[in-house]
């Protein structure tokens, strides 16, 4: 058996934090194995000889007809060989991945994810070559394979992903970003590493696609992820800033102090989509925080209508009494929107002085409810009292 795979940071070489090691079970292999088919019926002891061509065919008897299985079927089953045959099976897989026939290369790629759980040597290099294969079917299978194994072997796939992210062919680039997102869910350090490089690229498309993955790492990426969000909010391309702003709501639940700083920065944006994201995040922040209170007060007089609406709706939460009325009166002097003017007018009024009789009465304490008994109810109550008196007299005797 090969050594346990260790994911490492490609920049430092240090191991990346991971969950406690667990023993591989059958479900791990079956989830990564090729799709179900007749190849599953090949006896484990027959797989290697069939995959190497030592045997040409094997017959599996079935009620509805026999199955004649050959090398391609056996290649798909290579991950199931007994431990004593593992090294030879690894060599057979390497040969299949470099075979002249596309069907053999495709079969090798299909079994690569499951086999890599047992031994990885040279497999990532072979996968890298097959992604650039001259045969379209082989290339497509290899790209699908990359998405499967990237979350399991992030540093093993790191160079492949870096190259494919910058591939000028659209489907290669798209596939690589999907693989990166899959890896970033389980290994946020990997996501941060690549995004850190991508947001420095001159290619707008790379920065836009990279900033979309920020939402995957915002909850788990720590301080490095927060820095990446901050830098992306300052990008020259509006879509990069929009993607970064969409993380603020989640960030408000994870690190509200950092989120408050970034939300306040976004208040100065002109783009409506970014403002909307900032408003949603603001509503999740601690409303009693001095920074948030100041943010709301400033936003209530901003030139952007949607921002004013959101902040004015929060005034009655952060202020009360005369302080609220004074703030509303000041804002009313500058407000031009009729809907907001009506809202501010209502907040600026002192109901105790300017309110109608009904409004004043609403603030009075309600009268205690008096129990009114119907005649029939009075008779029943009197009867109960008489019965109790009789019982007391009997007890006294």
Radius of gyration of the chain (CA): 35
Return the H-helix or E-strand segment holding 298: helix 290-299
pLDDT at 244: 97
Q: With CA atoms as reference, report the closest residue to 113 among 132, 97, 100, 99.
A: 97
Q: Are the C-beta atoms of residues 208 and 240 closer than 8 Å to each other?
A: yes
Q: Is the pLDDT of residue 182 over 90?
A: yes
Q: Is the pLDDT of residue 385 over 60?
A: no
Name the 3-class secondary structure at 231.
Answer: helix
pLDDT at 21: 39
**What is the rounded CA–CA span in Å between residue 214 and residue 220?**
10
CATH number of 1-186: 1.25.10
Domains 1-186 and 199-285 share a fold: yes
Q: With CA atoms as reference, report the closest residue to 191 among 167, 166, 170, 211.
A: 211
pLDDT at 297: 92
Would you state the structure tokens that stand for residue 73, as one six-digit string? 């079927």
Confidence of residue 366 (pLDDT cuts 50, 70, 90): low
pLDDT at 250: 96
Confidence of residue 30 (pLDDT cuts 50, 70, 90): confident
Q: Is the pLDDT of residue 286 over 50?
A: yes
pLDDT at 259: 95
Q: Are the C-beta atoms of residues 6 and 13 closer than 8 Å to each other?
A: no
Q: Is the pLDDT of residue 391 over 90?
A: no
Which range has the worst mean pLDDT, 9-23, 29-43, 199-213?
9-23
Q: Are the C-beta atoms of residues 146 and 157 closer than 8 Å to each other?
A: yes
Domain boundaries, the chain: 1-186, 199-285, 287-359
Would you state the structure tokens that stand for residue 356, as one six-digit string? 């109608």
Residues 37-55 have a mean pLDDT of: 93
DSSP 153-192: STTTSHHHHHHHHT-SSHHHHHHHHHHHHHHHHH-HHHHH
Q: What is the pTM of this model?
A: 0.78
Choose between 99 and 351: higher pLDDT. Answer: 99
With left for phi above 0 and alpha for psi between -120 and 50, is residue 194 left, alpha or beta? Answer: alpha
**What is the rounded CA–CA span in Å between residue 360 and residue 119?**
81
As beta bridge partners, residue 58 has 69
Residues 369-397 have a mean pLDDT of: 55
CATH class of 199-285: mainly alpha
**What is the rounded CA–CA span in Å between residue 117 and residue 120?**
7
Confidence of residue 392 (pLDDT cuts 50, 70, 90): low
pLDDT at 66: 81
- The 10s digit of each residue's pLDDT in 248-270 is 999 999 999 999 999 999 999 99
Confidence of residue 142 (pLDDT cuts 50, 70, 90): very high
- The 10s digit of each residue's pLDDT in 323-342 is 999 999 999 999 999 999 99
- The 10s digit of each residue's pLDDT in 83-94 is 999 999 999 999
Which range has the worst mean pLDDT, 6-15, 131-140, 377-386?
6-15
SS3 content of the chain, % helix, strand, coil (to 5): 65, 0, 35
Confidence of residue 19 (pLDDT cuts 50, 70, 90): very low
């Amino acid at each position: 058996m090969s050594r346990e795979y260790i994911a490492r940071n490609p920049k430092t070489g240090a191991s990346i934090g991971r969950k406690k090691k667990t023993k591989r079970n059958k479900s791990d292999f079956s989830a990564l194995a090729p799709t179900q088919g007749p190849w599953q019926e090949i006896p484990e002891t027959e797989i290697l000889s069939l995959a190497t061509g030592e045997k040409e065919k094997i017959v599996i008897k079935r009620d509805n007809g026999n199955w004649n299985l050959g090398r391609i079927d056996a290649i798909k089953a290579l991950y199931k060989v007994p431990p004593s045959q593992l090294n030879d099976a690894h060599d057979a897989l390497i040969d299949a991945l470099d075979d002249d026939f596309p069907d053999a290369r495709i079969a090798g790629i299909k079994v690569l994810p499951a086999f890599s759980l047992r031994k990885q040597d040279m497999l990532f290099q072979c996968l890298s070559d097959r992604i650039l294969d001259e045969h379209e079917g082989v290339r497509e299978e290899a790209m699908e394979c990359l998405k499967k194994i990237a979350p399991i072997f992030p540093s093993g796939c790191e160079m492949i992903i870096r190259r494919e992210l910058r591939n000028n062919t659209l489907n290669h680039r798209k596939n690589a970003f999907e693989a990166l997102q899959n890896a970033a869910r389980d290994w946020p350090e990997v996501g941060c590493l690549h995004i850190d490089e991508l947001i420095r690229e001159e290619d707008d498309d790379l920065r836009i696609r990279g900033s979309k993955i920020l939402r995957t790492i915002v909850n788990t990426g720590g301080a490095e992820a927060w820095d990446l969000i901050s830098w992306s909010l300052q990008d020259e391309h509006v879509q990069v800033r929009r993607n970064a702003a969409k993380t603020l709501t989640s960030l408000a639940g994870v690190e509200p102090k950092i989120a408050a700083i970034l939300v306040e920065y976004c208040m100065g944006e002109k783009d409506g989509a970014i403002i909307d994201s900032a408003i949603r995040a603001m509503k999740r922040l601690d409303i009693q925080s001095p920074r948030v209170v100041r943010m709301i007060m400033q936003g209530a007089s901003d030139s952007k209508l949607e921002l004013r609406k959101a902040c004015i709706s929060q005034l009655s939460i952060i202020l009360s009494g005369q302080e609220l009325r004074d703030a509303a009166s000041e804002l009313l002097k500058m407000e031009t929107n009729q809907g907001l003017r009506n809202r501010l007018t209502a907040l600026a009024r002192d109901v105790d002085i300017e309110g109608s009789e009904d409004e004043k009465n609403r603030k009075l304490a309600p009268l205690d409810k008096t129990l009114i008994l119907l005649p029939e109810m009075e008779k029943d109550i009197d009867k109960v009292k008489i019965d109790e008196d009789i019982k007391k007299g009997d007890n006294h005797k």
